[in-house]
Amino acid sequence: MIQIARLHVITDASLQSRWSHVELARLALEGGAPTIQYRRKDGSKRLRIEEASAIRALCRRRGATLLINDEVDVTLAADADGVHLGEDDLPAALARRWLGPAKIVGGSCDHADGAIARSREGVDYAGIGPIFATRTKADTGPLLGLDGLARAVASSPVPLIAIGGISLANVAAVLATGVHGVAVLGAVCLSADPVAAVAALQGAILSSGSSGSSGSSGSSARDV
């Protein structure tokens, strides 16, 4: 089965204008990011395919994984490694049918029961949050907090990737819940030095030791 990397860096060009999605992905990869999630909500479909394809080429050179936020068609067109689906997006089972067994299908949830439901839909991992307050996404549910995250970790059959307000200052506490990994956006794109920010986060994750128990027994074979 598929193994999921422990650090996902999400691209953004709306909270900041210093770097494009492609440039931000390049900087994150220089810092050692194992997974990039390309998330763009505007622009034409053609532009999103072009950008995703450019990021895919960068990821291939670094041996990193590329996930596309929401869009299965862009995932296919760019030959990305997988897709991350929001709760109101295409059903995970249908995405799996279109993408096939070799691609990653992840999905969002905001509580423990949601993670269980996502696992039943056949996702490879569930992104869970927000853990802390964040200004990078407006339409979020209530804050989960560390206690809520720990409860979700204890019951989830699939690896959980925590998201929402995660930074170098709190990532150790997040990882201490046993969660498989974290996804970050503002901690990188709003940093003065995205390369250093990613390197520091990756270092903190590696220093935390092996991943927690959330879904870890179900992952083997292909490290992505």
177 vs 130, 158, 214, CA distance in Å?
Answer: 15, 15, 10
Helix (H, G, I), strand (E, B) or coil at 76: helix
Q: Is the dihedral of CA 174, 96, 26, 21 positive or negative?
A: negative
Is the separation of the CB atoms in 85 and 108 below 8 Å?
A: yes
Place of tokens 């969002």: 108
Tokens representing 211?
A: 């991943």
So which residues are the catalytic ones?
39, 108, 137
- Please report where in the chains the tokens 């034409």 appear, as a residue: 44
Nearest to 7 by CA among 134, 166, 182, 132: 182
Report the alpha-carbon distance of residue 108 to residue 130 in Å, rounded. 10
Q: Which residue has the tokens 């920010």?
A: 197
Q: Give the span between the Cα atoms of 3 and 13, in whole angstroms.
A: 29
Report the DSSP pairing between strands 35-38 and 7-10.
parallel
Task: Return the amino acid letter for 24.
Answer: L
